[in-house]
Structure 1
Amino acid sequence: MPTPSPQATAIVALARALRAEALGCRQRRVLLVSGEVGWCERQALAVLATLPGLATTWLSARASPPQAEPLGAARKLLGGELALLVYDAHGGFDPDAFGAATGALIGGGLLLLLTPPLAEWSTLTDPQTARLAPWPHPPQPGGRFIARLARVLASDPALVHIDQSQHPAHWPQPDTPAPAPAPPPAPDAEGAASADQARAIEAVLRVARGRAHRPLVLSAHRGRGKSAALGIAARRLLAEAEDYRILVTAPNRGAAATLLGHAGSHPGLDFVAPADLLDRHPAADLVLVDEAAAIPAPLLEGLLHRYPRLVFAATVHGYEGTGRGFELRFRDALERHTPGWRLERLEQPIRWAAHDPLETLGFRALLLDAAIPAIDPPSSTTLAGITCERLDRDTLAGDETTLGALFGLLVQAHYQTRPADLRMLLDGPGVRVYACRLAGRVVATLIASAEGGIDDPALRAAIFEGRRRPRGHLLPQTLSAHAGLAEAPALRALRVVRIATHPALRRHGLGARLLTTLQAAARAEGLDLVGTSFGATPGLLAFWRHQGWRLAQVGTSRNAASGEHAVVLLAACSAAGERLATRAERRLGARIGVLLAGPLRALDPRIAAALLSALPPPSRNALEEDSAELHAFANAHRTLEASLAPLAGLTRVRLAETLRAGRITPDEAALLVACALQLHAPATLVERFSASGREALTEQLRMVTGRLLEAAMPGAGADKTTPRTP
């Protein structure tokens, strides 16, 4: 074996000292090794050779050394525990992977972070930027994100930095003697390792033993023991009753490993994937949902309908998604369906001791603790002082206050916001950042991305035919490949990627002002369209329709991230854009009936009704021919089955106007859509809409049909229709 170099010997001694120091205070320590790639790798291998037997992972986008795992393997570390982590950033820096992996390091653990020289890191090509770069952009230099990260690393007081360009005599020296290892916190008699965790366990037990339909949300940063609390509570409940049944769900089984490990093996405990819970609806006395922030909101809301006793655990902010945003967004569903729900926060760390340097570094580097500023209730004078502007990203990257407030808005508004989104807004090619300011503070923001302008006819044809899917360009590719608009990729567009407003200033028109600013900029540049794509909900559709944007496309399958059907809305900025938006809207209107009866048959009828309301109604000519049949159904005893075809036509023509006029409720509109367009069986409708039986359901449909008829034919009111016979 070759003799270690003096540099390697010095680094090994320092790493061993840091490891001992970390064990002594039960915190984590960070050793940053910067320099040429081969040199950094050799130093890390020397450290690993002198610290054998530790739970270790080496993450790298490069294939060297042999034990290195790809950055994507960081996903597997969720719920796991590491004592030593090597993160090689020479092959690119993935913020999500870094956040996931460092969260798996336990107290006493050591992070070896390998980077290029900090001063030049941001100028080097980073292969990880390929995910940010739309076609035809190649991978970019590290840019603003890496420059900021390098500043954060260089200024971190607890981080130990070894720089290849410095003589070892100038490197930090290990402290001696090393402190004795600190024992982990001793669990109490019930297994809780902190007072917070004990309260969380008792809260879970109250859900199981107390009144039904009072779900619990556990919210915490990583390492606070929320998953363990679920497992300990499950173990206690299963020990009390042999026939008790608990179902555990999470984004994947690995994410529930800590929970399942603390619960132990028991015939009454099973893991079930979230979608399977809804599809199969297996019986359970209690359902535990771990890492809920990474599960689509519609699936979680579906669980509220199906199970009376639920506990949701969510990470406040991290790779898994943002628990703070989850909490705010899911709160509406909880208030609607289970107003007796409760929130329990865990603050005290368990996996490591308080004031952990690596946690502090992660918060700063990835803005994991980004928060929105406190805002007093606005007055008319306050609102008049709000300004909108496009932000310069070079300036933004150096303004920690503005950047933190802006990212905090994204976190609280979009619960799937991840560390990678910070890199996107700082470095994404063609990305624009707009903001509204109040007294200098960011209180609303809009992120947009340039798309389209694909001049190559062969590539456009390949997109239309489904043979090519170049990176990025979501709007034009969706409109071409799925909406049948082959010309869409040639047009130049701006896509709204995110829009968020401070909670205290919502419903005061800030979102509309940002959109107006964006559209004015697009017109001034000679662009054709502005557009957006998002998971459809009635509220979001209403907001965008209120801005005058037009519905252009509905996805026929659920989006993997949101669990919702994606929609595309457009606003024209040129004559060519107007022609495309009009054509898209018209084509979707002609197809929506077939879609609702086919691939969208399982779509929530409330969303289906909102989609119909967003589209221009078809011609009214057919209503005159169907008038007699419709009146016979509404006011006499004509059967539902015999009336379905004319009822479908009436729904398409009159639903939007009748709903806007307040003559029917959103639930009544949803019932009509589910019955006449999605063609659900009466038994399904009775269950979904809580009717007392088929007869009551039919009576409700007759009544709603009558209201649509009154709107459709003002001269044919109730006094002029065939009276109901007993």
Structure 2
Amino acid sequence: MLARSLYILDLPKKAEIPPHFISHFIQDNLDEVLWIGDTLIFPAIKFVPFSQTRNLLGQEFSLIIYDGRQQLHLESLAIVSGTLKAGGAVLMLVENWQSWQQQPDKDSLRWHSATYPVSAVNFRQYFKQCYDEIFHANFILTENLPHRAMLSPHRARLPHKRATEPQQAIIEQILLQQAKYYVVTAKRGRGKSALAGLLANHLTSPIYITAANKSAVNILQKFCQKTLQFIAPDELARQLTLTPQKFAQAWLLVDEATRLPLQILHKLSGHFQHILFTTTVDGYEGTGQGFLLKFLPNLEGKSQVFHLDFPLRWREQDPLEGFVNKLLLLNEKPTPLPIKPIIPSQVKLIPCSQRELIAKSNNIEQFYRLLAQAHYRTTPIDLRRLFDGDQQQFWLAKQQEQIVGGIWGIFEGGMKDNLLIQQILQGTRRPKGNLVAQLLCFQQQLPSACQLRSLRISRIALQPEYQQQGIGSALLQQLQQQCLSPSVNALKGLDYLSVSFGYQARLAQFWQQAGFELVYLGEHKEASTGYYNAIAIYPLSEQGKQLCQQAQSFFRRDIGLQSHPLSLYFGQMPLDWRLCPQDQQSLQNFAQWHRTFYAALPAIQRLILQHQDQSLALLLKQKDNYSQKQWLSLMRDKVRQYIAL
């Protein structure tokens, strides 16, 4: 098979790509050409914006034109590289390759706090380094064509609808039906979707397939000799609730399982006779390691995991695959961990600036791999933020030069604009960044959360081998001590630490044992985790202590009147029905501004009891008689009438 290539074409923003470039790369079939970018240039060529490249899964192209002149959208580049045929080429457009790393990157709007595009010097420089290692100067083009023959892209020589030896061996193991759950992991292009289709040919039970995107199962369908019923994940979860018995004797094939939220995966897993999950180990959606570590161990029933190693759709050691893997830090194999047991008190947490983290490639590779192993989903956006995000501080815990743990902190608060803080409180503004600070200001009506300086613990991670040994708690204690007696300038003047996490009893216990106070629980379960969003804070200064006391008091006083499923665990008893100034402000912000009904509900309940007005109580019970928008408008009007009294 021919190698796949990535060419860089240096082209000004407003300039059009010379037509002879396209004709050089491909002779006549424009259906095999794809253009991805911000705007359509050639009407005759299939165009897909960056935001929709996930829909390309299951398709194949001979030439892909990637317009990177305004932004470097990393997931899109990784996605389309997996749709390129053997012998094909990606033609990446840039403006002024020599100074490319200094140019504003529109993609920064997704991972930087600035409201305008900023340069991504660190990652773009790293991009160039990776490119120079894999390719060479002849692949960087201006007006000259590459010195090579016309492309001859073609499909990999797969046996037509027949399994390869590794695929057949896995299929035979699965057909023994010795487990309830089967998982096939692989990098892209290894034939895991084809394996699922080939397996279906041998099954006599009813078969259903699901995936985050219907087009993703195209390859699966091609290798199956019968028509399989595709059901979207949300719809399948709904049907399982209504008629679970319909699926009790059926097989479910889940393609690219890591793209589905944990909540959906758990919902699907309990109702089928057998389930096959296929998932990318490393790729554009992040990593499948979290799937193996976080999801499978919690399933009730035996599971078997298989792996496919060798590419089928392109050659081994393909340069484009090697480049993308290196760019996404997916090449680094985990270093064997020290055999010697670790004593928690002997693990030292060392502060590390962003510059120090990326200065040593071994550091950032190990740290990113650590995140991927410890968390369900780690994505290319995390990688971009690591390299060029702002307001960050890192800590590394090493054992014999191997990173065994780490903490990723984000600085928040310190806001001086009182008008902006007031608008956040009212819900009329939601500027980028300051996740916890803004949430406490808006939901708990605590403007001081935005005014005080804080550090949000974005991630805390340990190698799986060292979890449940007290090491995480030891690292957290060291972080707290370093923030209380800072030697790093950036840590001076902090008022509190915060963390946002998916509520689980054991996680809440971990944070509470470290001195953090739970101050918020979200109304709904998060789609990505299947858990309620929880906020906990740890005070560092006197002002931080006051904020913590207020936030905890408001939380415990109100949650019992919010009808939250977890209210019995946290609400104070007996319930406080007094209408206080905090409630008056909540009602005012609900009636006049954009405070959510969930946040205002405790104050509304107290208002009903105080005024003994059954019309408001009745309206509260008639939610199903109106559309959500109509009902909310009526509620705001009704509360507004009481405020005016």
Q: Give TM class, smaller chain.
A: 0.7 to 0.9
AA of the residue aligned to 2:185: S
- Contact 1:60-1:89 at 8 Å conserved across structures: yes
Q: CA deviation at 1:426?
A: 1.4
Q: Distance in 2 between matches of 1:468 and 1:402?
A: 38
2:37/2:50 contact within 8 Å kept = yes
State the Cα distance separating 1:121 from its structure 2 match. 1.3
Q: Is the 8 A contact 2:155 2:313 kept in 1?
A: no
The 3 A distance-change label for structure 1 pair 235 and 271 is: farther
Cα-to-partner distance string for 1:524-554 (whole Å, 9 max, x where unaligned): 4112221111212223222212211111111
Coordinate RMSD, CA, aligned: 2.9
Give 2:198's match in structure 1, choosing from 232, 243, 250. Answer: 232
Correspondent of 1:322 among 277, 282, 287: 287
* Cα drift, residue 64 of structure 1: 4.2
Alpha-carbon shift at residue 129 of structure 1 (Å): 0.5
Letter in 1 for 2:294: R
Comparing 344-353 and 45-54, the one that deviates more: 45-54
Distance 1:159 1:29 in 2: 13
The answer for the alignment partner of 1:215 in structure 2 is: 181
Which residue is 1:391 aligned to?
A: 352
The answer (yes or no) to whether the contact 1:220–1:345 under 8 Å persists in 2 is yes
Q: Is the 8 A contact 2:105 2:118 kept in 1?
A: yes
Pairing 1:28–2:4 present: yes
- Aligned pair in 2 of structure 1 residues 98, 620: CA closer, same or farther (>3 Å)? closer
- Given that 1:434 and 1:514 are in contact with CA atoms closer than 8 Å, whether structure 2 keeps it comes out as no
Partner of 1:94: 73
- Per the TM alignment, residue 255 of structure 1 is displaced from its structure 2 partner at its CA by 2.7
Aligned to 1:263, the other structure's residue is in SS state: coil
Number of aligned residue pairs: give it. Answer: 563
| C-alpha displacement of 1:517 | 4.2
Q: 1:272 aligns with which of 218, 226, 232?
A: 232
Q: Which amino acid aligns with 2:433?
A: G
Aligned residue for 2:527?
A: 560
Q: Verify the 8 A CA contact 2:214 2:230 in the aligned structure 1.
A: no
CA contact (8 A) 1:494 1:530 kept: yes
Q: Alignment partner for residue 350 of structure 1, among 300, 312, 319?
A: 312
SS in 2 for 1:306: coil
In 1, the alpha carbon distance for the partners of 2:219 and 2:561 equals: 46
Of the three residues 119, 124, 129, the one matched with 1:151 is: 129
Is the Cα contact below 8 Å between 1:535 and 1:564 reproduced in 2? yes
The correspondence for 1:192, drawn from 156, 162, 165, is 162
3-state secondary structure, aligned to 1:478:
helix
Q: For 1:38-187, what aligned pairs fall within 5 Å after superposition?
A: 38=14, 41-42=17-18, 44-45=21-22, 47=24, 50-62=27-39, 64=41, 68-134=47-113, 137-157=115-135, 160-164=138-142, 168=144, 173-174=147-148, 184-187=156-159
8 Å contact from structure 2 (residues 560, 568) kept in 1: no
The 5 A counterparts of 1:326-345 are 326-334=291-299, 337-338=300-301, 340-345=302-307
User: How far is 1:492 from its partner?
Assistant: 1.9
Q: Structure 1-normalised TM-score?
A: 0.72
Whole-angstrom CA distance in 1 between matches of 2:457 and 2:191: 37
The letter for the 1-side match of 2:147 is: Q
Q: Secondary structure at the match of 1:352?
A: coil
Residues 245 and 269, structure 1, Cα contact 8 Å, conserved in 2: no
Q: Shift of residue 250 of structure 1?
A: 1.6
In 2, are the aligned partners of 1:281 and 1:306 still within 8 Å (CA)? no
Distance in 1 separating the partners of 2:503 and 2:30: 50
Q: Structure 1: any 5+ residue segments left out of the alignment?
A: 1-24, 602-607, 622-726
Alpha-carbon separation, structure 2, partners of 1:436 and 1:302: 37
Matches within 5 A, 1:449-528: 449-523=410-484, 524=486, 525-528=492-495
SS of the counterpart of 2:59? coil
Cα 1:542–1:315, aligned 2, differ >3 Å: closer, same or farther? same
Match of 2:340 in 1: 378
Give the Cα–Cα distance (whole angstroms) in 2 for the partners of residues 179 and 40 of structure 1. 22
Q: TM-score if structure 2 supplies the norm length?
A: 0.80
Instruction: Give runs of aligned pairs for residues 314-713 of structure 1, distance below 5 A.
Output: 314-334=279-299, 337-338=300-301, 340-379=302-341, 386-523=347-484, 524=486, 525-595=492-562, 598=563, 600-601=564-565, 608=566, 615=570, 618=573
Mark the CA change 1:272 to 1:50 in structure 2 (over 3 Å): closer, same or farther: closer
Partner amino acid, structure 1, of 2:37 = S
Change over 3 Å in CA distance of 1:484–1:113 after alignment to 2: same
Which amino acid counterpart does residue 224 of structure 1 have in structure 2?
R
SS at match of 2:104: coil
Partners of 1:515 and 1:278 in 2: how far apart?
A: 42
Query: What is the alpha-carbon distance in structure 2 between the residues aligned to residue 327 and residue 619 of structure 1?
Result: 44
Shift of the 234–49 alpha-carbon distance from structure 1 to 2, 3 Å rule, reads: closer
Q: Shift of residue 445 of structure 1?
A: 1.3
How far is 1:438 from its partner? 1.4
Give, as a single letter, the amino acid of the residue that structure 2 aligns with 1:378. Answer: K
The SS at the match of 1:174 is coil
Q: Describe the superposition over 1:134-186 as per-residue Cα deviations: whole angstroms up to 9, x where unpaired.
A: 2x55321122111111111122247852243xx95xx86326xx898777334
- Secondary structure of the residue that 1:563 maps to in structure 2? coil
Change (3 A) 1:47 1:589: farther
Shift of 1:319: 1.9
* In structure 2, C-alpha distance between the alignment counterparts of 1:179 and 1:467, rounded to whole Å: 55
Displacement after TM superposition at 1:373 (Å): 2.0
2:263 to 279, 294, 298: 298
Question: Which residue of 1 is the match for residue 635 of structure 2?
Answer: none
CA contact (8 A) 2:183 2:304 kept: yes
Distance in 1 separating the partners of 2:224 and 2:561:
48
1:138 to 1:521, Cα distance in 2 relative to 1, 3 A: farther
Shift of 1:410: 0.8
Q: Which amino acid aligns with 2:166?
A: D
Cα gap change, 1:312/1:461 in structure 2, threshold over 3 Å: closer, same or farther? same
- CA shift in 2, pair 1:287/1:308, >3 Å: same
Give 1:60's aligned amino acid: G
Q: Do the aligned residues in 2 keep the contact of 1:494 with 1:522 (CA within 8 Å)?
A: no
C-alpha deviation, 1:122, in angstroms: 1.3
Asked if structure 2 preserves the Cα contact closer than 8 Å seen for 1:454 and 1:490, the reply is: yes
Q: Unaligned regions of 5+ residues in structure 2, if any?
A: 487-491, 577-645
Q: CA deviation at 1:47?
A: 4.6
Find out whether 1:313 has 2:285 as its counterpart: no
Percent identity of equivalent pairs? 27
What is the CA–CA distance in structure 1 between the aligned matches of 2:67 and 2:382, rounded to whole Å? 21
Identify if the C-alpha distance between structure 1 residues 98 and 618 changes in structure 2 by more than 3 Å, giving closer, same or farther. same
1:564 alignment partner AA: Y
Residue 522 of structure 1 deviates from its aligned partner by 4.0
State the SS of the aligned residue for 2:102.
Answer: coil
Q: Which amino acid aligns with 2:336?
A: A
